[in-house]
Amino acid sequence: MIRRAEPKDAPRISALLKQVLEVHAAVRPDMYRSGTQKYSEADVLKLLEDPNCVLFVETDENDRVRGYAISFVQEIQDDGIIVGRRELYIDDICVDECARRTGVGQRLFACVKAYAKEAGFDWITLNVWNDNKTALAFYKRMGLTERKTILEYRID
């Protein structure tokens, strides 16, 4: 079942955030420290109170969180050069390691997409590391296309 996250889900979301960090640390050890996480349990509780944060979870038959999608509302103001728009930025989609390749990610993305459409957003956006081939392939299967490319040059 997919539903909006509740405070009781914070410990499990926090645990899954550790899994996400380990994927990022494996892909970009020059940028991410293994053994850390992006949001603590307390941070997750704050996100649940943030009106600009939309957090969905998929749970199993025992109401245990199997995956989550964290998104943020972004309002881009029309300034004469930039066209104003409302974007729903996906900060994170995570599926528990033991539930991957079972459709959880697809269902979470479909939920985010339905929410964005119903709420009148113009775009859904996200960032993904090029070396995270699994995530990149997943998002392309979901219909996302590249908007821009960020290039880097490492100074040794």
For strands 2-4 and 65-76, give the pairing: unpaired
Q: Is 13 exposed, middle or buried (0-12, 13-18, 19+ CB in 10 A)?
A: buried
pLDDT for res 116: 98
pLDDT band at 82 (very low <50, low <70, confident <90, very high): very high
Task: Please give the distance of CA 152 from its chain centroid, rounded to a whole number.
Answer: 23
**Considering the domain boundaries, does residue 149 fall inside one?**
no
CATH at 136:
3.40.630.30
pLDDT for res 72: 98
pLDDT band at 111 (very low <50, low <70, confident <90, very high): very high
pLDDT for res 10: 98
Helix, strand, coil percent content, the chain, rounded in steps of 5: 35, 25, 40
Pick from 13, 15, 37: which is nearest to 25 by CA? 37
pLDDT for res 87: 98
Number of domains composing the chain: 1
**Considering the domain boundaries, does residue 154 fall inside one?**
no
Q: What average pLDDT does the chain have?
A: 96
DSSP secondary structure letter of residue 146: -
**Considering the domain boundaries, does residue 79 fall inside one?**
yes
Q: Per DSSP, what are the bridge partners of residue 57?
A: 3, 68
Q: Mind listing the pLDDT tens digit for each residue in 42-58?
A: 999 999 999 999 999 99
**Considering the domain boundaries, does residue 152 fall inside one?**
no
Would you state the structure tokens that stand for residue 132, as one six-digit string?
């995270």
DSSP secondary structure letter of residue 38: S
**Considering the domain boundaries, does residue 151 fall inside one?**
no
**Considering the domain boundaries, does residue 111 fall inside one?**
yes
Residues spanned by the domain of 64: 2-141
Q: Mind listing the pLDDT tens digit for each residue in 10-29?
A: 999 999 999 999 999 999 99
**Considering the domain boundaries, does residue 47 fall inside one?**
yes
**Considering the domain boundaries, does residue 153 fall inside one?**
no
CA dist list (Å): 109 to 51, 57, 88, 141: 20, 11, 12, 11
pLDDT for res 141: 96
